[in-house]
Copies of this chain bind each other. A is one copy, B any other.
């Protein structure tokens, strides 16, 4: 009990320094030896305190520089802009747009598969048992670093004969292909939630401990109100901010 109180005191003081800005992003925390001396505590107590801050996502441990304050500046995404008329050759996705705006380089790895969809996807696409989907799974990078994933599901019956089944980038965007197939998306519903990542997501996105993810799901409906696309993005919370601008009618 006494030990628990001690390490929490050390954690609290470090936390305050971070929230107040005394320790900014990229700053090194005092060494374990320094913290032991300043607080008159054991190495174990110091490590428990630092472990707590790691779990809260406030600091990370590096092999060379010791424990440093994490950078919380996020990539600003505007999901509305995908719906607006866009100039030719501009990136058609919130992610590509946001990255380009910052002068950084977006890239992606695409896998395409024909699958029986998970139940939550089948429900959103209003599919019957046995109906197949084409899924385009993308792992997306900024300046070569993994940043987020986007899995887009399309009803196989609609896109079977289109380039959506090819495992290559669609320069003009999958939404334009859907439009050419007679299914323009005139309405979308965006659901945003957050959770801790699965171990698979942590590995794929190289997440540090204590990093939650936002799950952003967009369902697109055509002019007959048929759902024609479900896009699931997994956005590490330390790297993304989602923004909507609304006007009163």
Interface positions of A (Cβ within 8 A of B): 12, 15, 19, 55-57, 74, 79-80, 83-84, 184-196, 198-199, 210, 212-214, 237-238, 240-249
Q: How many copies of the shown chain assemble into the complex?
A: 2
Q: Known interface pairs A191-B242, A243-B190. Does A196 touch B55 (Cβ–Cβ under 8 Å)? A: yes
Known: A190-B243, A190-B245. 20 other contacts (CB 8 A): A12-B199, A15-B199, A55-B55, A57-B196, A74-B193, A79-B244, A79-B246, A83-B246, A83-B247, A186-B248, A187-B245, A188-B246, A189-B245, A191-B241, A193-B237, A194-B194, A194-B214, A196-B210, A212-B212, A214-B214
**In whole Å, how far is A149's beta carbon from the nearest beta carbon of chain B?**
16
| Distance of A199 Cα from B241 Cα, bound (Å) | 22
**In whole Å, how far is A147's beta carbon from the nearest beta carbon of chain B?**
15
**Do the beta carbons of B214 and A192 come within 8 Å of each other?**
yes
Contacts A/B (CB < 8 Å), 13 sampled: A15-B198, A55-B196, A79-B246, A185-B248, A188-B245, A190-B245, A191-B242, A192-B192, A193-B240, A193-B241, A194-B213, A194-B237, A195-B237
